[in-house]
Homo-oligomer: A and B are copies of this chain.
Amino acid sequence: MRERNISDIRAFNRFYTNVIGLLDQHVLNSKYSLPEVRILYELYHQEDLTASDIITSIRIDKGYLSRIIRQFEKKKLITKAKSSTDARSLHLRLTKKGRSEFEVLNDASHNQIKDTLEPLTDAECDKLTRNMTEIQKILSKTQK
């Protein structure tokens, strides 16, 4: 009963864990950690998040996050501002420096994928991404 599907999925998971591990290498060689980059990512794509918002979107301990935020502030990558509606929460925004730091990392990731696709034909690239969006669509049905 779906045994074959299950083992195929598990094989894919092992395979893709490795793909992601390789792609993460360049981040690990940068001056930011993976969680740090994910946080910068969140702030880049949605200004004005609170620490709680970030906890909701990525799996991270609030104490750990708090320290990363403090570091970011010290490095002038973000600014904190007390919310006017809820004095407990802090609204976080990337500074100009923060945005540009993220963009460097982002461009590197982008180019890394571009290089990876280089040996493929356009048709293969399209097929690849269709498969990916299809997987997302299907798996989204499994967790609401």
Contact = CB atoms under 8 A, between A and B. Distances in A.
A12 B141 contact: no
Interface residues of A, number: 48
A128 B138 CA distance: 7
A119 interface: yes
> Interface SS of chain A: helix, strand, loop or mixed?
helix
A22 B144 contact: yes
A46 interface: no
A6 to B, nearest CB: 5
A135 B144 contact: no
Contacts of A21: 59
Interface stretch (A47-55, A62-70, A95-103, A107-115): A107-115
